[in-house]
Structure 1
Amino acid sequence: MTEQTIILTGGGTAGHVSLNQAVLPELQKLGFHIEYIGSKGGIEQEIIGEAFPNTAYHAISSGKIRRYFSRKNFTDPFRVGGGLVQSLGILRRTKPAAIFSKGGFVSVPVVMAGRMMKIPVIIHESDVTPGLANKIAMPFADHIYTVFNETLAHVPAEKATASGAVIRDELLTGSATSGKELCGFNRELPVLLIMGGSQGSALINQAIRSQLEALTARFNIIHLCGKGNTDPALADVAGYRQFDYVTTELPDLLHYADYIVSRAGSNSIFEFLALEKPMLLIPLSKERSRGDQLLNAELFRKQGFARVLEEEELTADRLSEELVALVSERETFVRNMEAAPSPKTAAEMAALIAGHIKKR
């Protein structure tokens, strides 16, 4: 029997790639041939290329629909059209048994092309409310998987399932010892890991660095500050280790950390939950996003998994106050996280994808 192909797509941010990165090897174990469609030079090309150099990567033209005025709103529809034509060509050559989309605007022409060619399309939505790209893509999907039960109210119920969060296997096998060796800390203090997303956060970076002397008196600090955002002047500060971006090292750093300050992207916060790491979430504001991180963070706050500091309230003093509270409430957070349902494994998610192919 000829090996069946599954096309994975998704990109724009690391959050739109991480699940694909997790399920790719599991689908291969099930006997499928995997190829990836993403944008040229996007973060997905870097991540997939580094993790799976033998996986064919097809770069297509990718546009974006913005919620604000931009001249690119007049040209990007043509880029999406170009991406649709390119996707049709790729799908004709690869003849996939299914397409699995994690979202992001690069996925829209791929999903549309799949529907035009009557290829089963499966979409995954991580946030409480669907992003704009997935909203556009959902009418073309055969099935939609969601992380949150609350999301089912925002998607076509007749073709949706709340499957829960999916955690990468390598996340659970990280090593605190390796994380410590990577950072080189020689002080016995709690470890605070700060993440501003794959692109970093200027606001979080500024707040941390403005209180760096006080914070390093209480914590060893691992600062993932975004590409191009490291500060050479701080390279020799004791108890402070900055990285622009990490990939394979992240599981080790997460295992090493005692506390986490982060944005509130769904993939990341469920990883912190799986590792039972008390977290202070600073979600993107509605002024700079569609508000999905605010909803994610509020659900985690209500369940007793996190403290939340809204971006508009972020000052150096408030950050210090919230960190004091986070430390004092550590046992409560850990107890709540211990009682949370276990996430799905990547193998379980791969089995769900394969199940749709068997039904055809």
Structure 2
Amino acid sequence: MMNKKIMFTGGGSSGHVAVNLALIPHLLEQHWSVQYIGSEQGIERNLISGLEDVCYFSVATGKLRRYFDWNNVKDPFKVLKGISQAYRIIKKEKPDIIFSKGGFVSVPVVLAGWLNRVPVIIHESDLTPGLANKISSMFATEICTTFPETTEYFRSKNTRYIGAIVRDELKEGKAAKGLAYCGFTRNKPSMLIMGGSLGSKKINELVWLNLEALLAHFQIVHICGKDQVNESIRTNGYKQFEYINDELADVMTMADMVVSRAGSNSIFEFLTLRKPMLLIPLSKAVSRGDQILNAKSFKAQGMCEFLEEEDLESERFVDMILRLYEKRSDYIRNMEKIITDQSTSKLLDLIKVYA
């Protein structure tokens, strides 16, 4: 019996790759042939290229914008080129199924899959769907959501709530290894601060401004984002990184609490690990407001504190962190009510139905 072949797509941010990274090892263990279509220079290429037994193809992609920009004139031609490239790849490789995580690169691939009559499953992480997944949903065989509320935003009857997909390796982190990696001790609680895959200049600057007050209570590991490490700050109990890859599971396990943006993949990882969170979502000025809705959903369930970027100021920031830590047991208790360990098996079963 021939092995099944699956083709993944998704990119533009680590959030649009994380679910794929969670699924790929399971399918490889079951002897599936795994391929990936991403952009020529996006973050997905870096994250996927290190995986053995995964063949990566690149296509042209243009950004889909809801606002006026001169690039809107030329980017549709990039999308058309990407559709043509993806069509030829899919026609040649003949995958049994395509799985799309979203992002701009996914639209040409989903449309090309539909033209080749290959079943397509898409997955939406945020509470409200992004523009790429809204377009892709018109050509999808099945649409899976992380939040139950998200099913209301799609017209397709083949939409189902399946829950969050979290990488297994994150559940295998060792706090002792995280402490050693950061050079921390067990004598003071540890806090993880991160601003999404690209980092957040505003959060970084607020942390540095209040570093002395925070270090009085916590050891801090700070993921600043590419080219955003402040080399002038070197102090005990504070460790900066542009990005953490292999050691992230250990660092997350070590952390007693987290300050973060509110991207869906990240906050469900913190939920799975039962980490009290202070969420600072991207503002509507620079996003479609999806992170705000994610944070409000978690706040309503008593699983986080929530601070809008427009309300960021030093005294309130520090006070909310201290209050979160003081009441951490309440947040952990609420998170323990949520079952998070069945979503991956549900999604893998669905993939097998259509392949």
Normalised by the size of structure 2, how large is the TM-score? 0.98
1:338 alignment partner AA: E
2:104 alignment partner AA: F
Cα-to-partner distance string for 1:233-253 (whole Å, 9 max, x where unaligned): 11x211100000112211111
1:349 is displaced (CA, Å) by: 2.4
SS class of match (2:75): helix
The 2-side partners of 1:318 and 1:203 are apart by: 15
The 2-side partners of 1:343 and 1:82 are apart by: 40
Cα-to-partner distance string for 1:33-75 (whole Å, 9 max, x where unaligned): 000000112110111112x143110011011111222221111
The 1-side partners of 2:91 and 2:85 are apart by: 10
The 2-side partners of 1:46 and 1:282 are apart by: 27
Contact preservation (8 Å) 1:23, 1:347? no
Give the match for residue 351 of structure 1: 349
| Superposition pairs of residues 25-174 of structure 1, within 5 angstroms | 25-50=25-50, 52-174=51-173
2:189 alignment partner AA: P
The 2-side partners of 1:61 and 1:205 are apart by: 33
**Residues 114 and 259 of structure 1: is their aligned pair in 2 closer, same or farther, counting only changes over 3 Å?**
same
Q: Percent identity?
A: 48
The 2-side partners of 1:187 and 1:208 are apart by: 22
1:113 is displaced (CA, Å) by: 0.3
The 2-side partners of 1:144 and 1:78 are apart by: 27
1:344 is displaced (CA, Å) by: 2.9
1:351 is displaced (CA, Å) by: 2.3
Q: CA RMSD in A?
A: 1.2
Counterpart of 1:325 (choices 323, 326, 340) is 323
Contact preservation (8 Å) 1:285, 1:312? yes
**Residues 187 and 31 of structure 1: is their aligned pair in 2 closer, same or farther, counting only changes over 3 Å?**
closer
The 2-side partners of 1:289 and 1:151 are apart by: 18
1:210 alignment partner AA: L
1:30 is displaced (CA, Å) by: 2.6
Contact preservation (8 Å) 1:26, 1:347? no
The 1-side partners of 2:346 and 2:201 are apart by: 37
The 2-side partners of 1:285 and 1:113 are apart by: 34
1:281 is displaced (CA, Å) by: 0.2
- Quick check: 1:214 aligned with 2:213? yes
Contact preservation (8 Å) 2:194, 2:260? yes
- Quick check: 1:20 aligned with 2:37? no
Contact preservation (8 Å) 1:177, 1:256? yes
2:348 alignment partner AA: A
2:285 alignment partner AA: E
Normalised by the size of structure 1, how large is the TM-score? 0.96
2:261 alignment partner AA: R
Of 308-317 and 148-157, deviating more is 148-157
Counterpart of 2:287 (choices 286, 289, 314) is 289
| Superposition pairs of residues 191-340 of structure 1, within 5 angstroms | 191-234=190-233, 236-340=234-338
Structure 1 segments unaligned to the other structure (5+ residues): none
2:121 alignment partner AA: I
Of 338-347 and 134-143, deviating more is 338-347
Contact preservation (8 Å) 2:162, 2:343? no
SS class of match (1:96): coil
**Residues 174 and 187 of structure 1: is their aligned pair in 2 closer, same or farther, counting only changes over 3 Å?**
closer
Cα-to-partner distance string for 1:191-213 (whole Å, 9 max, x where unaligned): 01001001000110011000011
1:347 is displaced (CA, Å) by: 4.2
2:223 alignment partner AA: L
Contact preservation (8 Å) 2:199, 2:224? yes
1:157 is displaced (CA, Å) by: 4.6
1:271 is displaced (CA, Å) by: 0.7
SS class of match (1:193): strand
The 2-side partners of 1:277 and 1:186 are apart by: 19
2:143 alignment partner AA: I
The 2-side partners of 1:208 and 1:254 are apart by: 18
Cα-to-partner distance string for 1:74-122 (whole Å, 9 max, x where unaligned): 1111111110011011101110001000000000000000001110010
Contact preservation (8 Å) 1:230, 1:244? yes
